A = this chain, B = another copy of it.
């Protein structure tokens, strides 16, 4: 093939290839969280990757791209389809489409990739995996509380030690009450206030104060226009966001002082109060879920309570949200015209995997390669396969080396695959009915300086000859890390 006609081997911008290390951790999280969802009576649903563009709606925050941040294309009947940007919009479409025949309330969980046509950047991908649970058709605050309880238990089931993460709860109605109290009337100004508050973690109070007022210039010199509040109103907003210290009922009492009296604010406080009581009934104390009025979710479809799960780590690295959700009572009504209460939560699975690594729970560290049977001679392949077959039958991953390189390269291959051991069966071994086992785990441990060379070598031979009948047992000893 001529050079000029060859395509370049490259992955599209903003997408990544993921190997065993990442995928093992992801699968473990999905299994753990799914099992919590199922224990709460949620049923799995998987919708297609595409939705009609009008069904998805336009709810993405800060859409800086055409098609409002989605990947869209026109079908051959000229209808616009787009890849889902989350799992909630497709659920709303599914619930509306099947409402008459569903057992209600409809409790469903789902996981899978979602796609956002955003500007890619370091650590910012255009495809990522979410894992959601939602209840459609219940207006009860208990439904919100249950969603929060599952988020809390999901974090723990995924492997985050109790106390290392927390779910923060807020309510859009409180924010609306605050808007009334701060004299904000216009929708655009309101959105600007919400976006400013959403940046509290990243910019701090001083940065947010600027964004609530005239605006803020960032380090690069770029100017972001502010919400245009006067100083007193901005302080009121900041006071509101600072009320989230202490237990849930304590915070609610403080908030009542700041925004109590506005109709919507009082409604929001009453909902949070009911959620607080239901959480107590579900055994979720203030060490696992708090009321925090600084929480603002980016998506625009939320109508009531909103939730955000955050990692609490005393590391130097800042660590943001690992998931979030809230109540969206109008999303199904977009289709049916009938208000249908709904609430849910979504884990960002890669964020959660990163959180687990930050908390010292790196599941990827447990990835191991197969036992490699060294291939000496084409004539003996059947013998090598017999050995590999024995190991597999005993549940031990094993392979015969199938490349064309020599013994040294085969050993290097086994080491790079993180194989626990290599098995060598030459003519001598075949004649004697034995196998030589090379302990590659040991080699890696010694290289890391973890083990004391002399002491280990005494009980754990780097290489040993065993009778064929004892091969499985010898490999098991290495796998178990015991001499």
Interface presence of A251 (CB below 8 A): no
Q: How far, in whole Å, are A146 and B75 apart by their CA atoms in the complex?
A: 41
Q: Name the interface residues of A205-261: CB closer than 8 Å to any CB of B.
A: none
Chain A interfacial residues counted at CB < 8 A:
99
Interface presence of A320 (CB below 8 A): no
Q: How far, in whole Å, are A51 and B137 apart by their CA atoms in the complex?
A: 39
Residues of B within 8 A of A76 (CB): 65-66
Give A101 Cβ to nearest chain B Cβ, in Å: 9
Among candidates B9, B52, B65, B333, residue contacting A96 with C-beta atoms closer than 8 Å: B9
User: In the bound complex, do residue A399 and residue B50 qualify as a contact, i.e. CB atoms below 8 Å apart?
Assistant: no
Q: How far, in whole Å, are A50 and B49 apart by their CA atoms in the complex?
A: 12
Q: How far, in whole Å, are A47 and B280 apart by their CA atoms in the complex?
A: 43
Q: How far, in whole Å, are A47 and B398 apart by their CA atoms in the complex?
A: 25
Interface presence of A448 (CB below 8 A): no
* Given A11-B93, A397-B39, also A17-B385 (CB < 8 A): no
Residues of B within 8 A of A81 (CB): 12
Interface presence of A104 (CB below 8 A): yes
Q: How far, in whole Å, are A335 and B94 apart by their CA atoms in the complex?
A: 42
Q: How far, in whole Å, are A83 and B398 apart by their CA atoms in the complex?
A: 34
Residues of B within 8 A of A1 (CB): 333-334, 337
Q: Name the interface residues of A23-71: CB closer than 8 Å to any CB of B.
A: 23-24, 38-41, 43-52, 54-55, 57, 65-66, 71
Q: How far, in whole Å, are A140 and B282 apart by their CA atoms in the complex?
A: 60
Q: How far, in whole Å, are A105 and B375 apart by their CA atoms in the complex?
A: 13
Among candidates B127, B143, B281, B396, residue contacting A48 with C-beta atoms closer than 8 Å: B127
* Given A71-B73, A402-B142, also A97-B382 (CB < 8 A): no
**Bitwise interface map of A from 89 to 100 toward B, beta carbon under 8 Å scored 1, else 0:** 000011011100
User: In the bound complex, do residue B13 and residue A103 qualify as a contact, i.e. CB atoms below 8 Å apart?
Assistant: no
Interface presence of A124 (CB below 8 A): no
Q: How far, in whole Å, are A479 and B323 apart by their CA atoms in the complex?
A: 34
Residues of B within 8 A of A57 (CB): 7
Interface presence of A336 (CB below 8 A): yes
User: In the bound complex, do residue B38 and residue A397 qualify as a contact, i.e. CB atoms below 8 Å apart?
Assistant: yes
User: In the bound complex, do residue B47 and residue A11 qualify as a contact, i.e. CB atoms below 8 Å apart?
Assistant: yes
* Given A105-B402, A370-B41, A417-B103, also A334-B6 (CB < 8 A): yes
Q: What copy number does this chain have within its complex?
A: 2
Give A265 Cβ to nearest chain B Cβ, in Å: 23
Residues of B within 8 A of A283 (CB): 389
User: In the bound complex, do residue B398 and residue A48 qualify as a contact, i.e. CB atoms below 8 Å apart?
Assistant: no
Interface presence of A408 (CB below 8 A): no
* Given A96-B9, A104-B403, also A381-B278 (CB < 8 A): yes
Q: Is the interface of A mostly helix, strand, loop or mixed?
A: mixed
| A335 nearest CB neighbor, chain B only | B9
User: In the bound complex, do residue B40 and residue A18 qualify as a contact, i.e. CB atoms below 8 Å apart?
Assistant: no
Interface presence of A270 (CB below 8 A): no
Q: How far, in whole Å, are A389 and B153 apart by their CA atoms in the complex?
A: 12
Interface presence of A458 (CB below 8 A): no
Interface presence of A15 (CB below 8 A): yes
User: In the bound complex, do residue A23 and residue B48 qualify as a contact, i.e. CB atoms below 8 Å apart?
Assistant: no
Q: How far, in whole Å, are A48 and B139 apart by their CA atoms in the complex?
A: 38
Interface presence of A358 (CB below 8 A): no
Give A376 Cβ to nearest chain B Cβ, in Å: 14
Residues of B within 8 A of A188 (CB): none
Residues of B within 8 A of A52 (CB): 7-8, 10, 12
Interface presence of A314 (CB below 8 A): no
Interface presence of A297 (CB below 8 A): no
Give A421 Cβ to nearest chain B Cβ, in Å: 12
Give A236 Cβ to nearest chain B Cβ, in Å: 33
Residues of B within 8 A of A104 (CB): 403, 413
User: In the bound complex, do residue B103 and residue A413 qualify as a contact, i.e. CB atoms below 8 Å apart?
Assistant: yes
Q: How far, in whole Å, are A337 and B8 apart by their CA atoms in the complex?
A: 11
Q: How far, in whole Å, are A39 and B393 apart by their CA atoms in the complex?
A: 9
**What are 19 A-B interface contacts by the 8 Å CB criterion?**
A1-B334, A6-B335, A7-B54, A9-B55, A9-B336, A11-B47, A11-B51, A17-B46, A23-B45, A38-B370, A38-B397, A40-B370, A40-B397, A43-B369, A43-B417, A49-B127, A143-B402, A146-B402, A278-B382
- Closest CB pairs A-B (n = 9): A15-B48, A41-B370, A41-B399, A281-B382, A9-B96, A7-B54, A9-B335, A103-B416, A9-B97
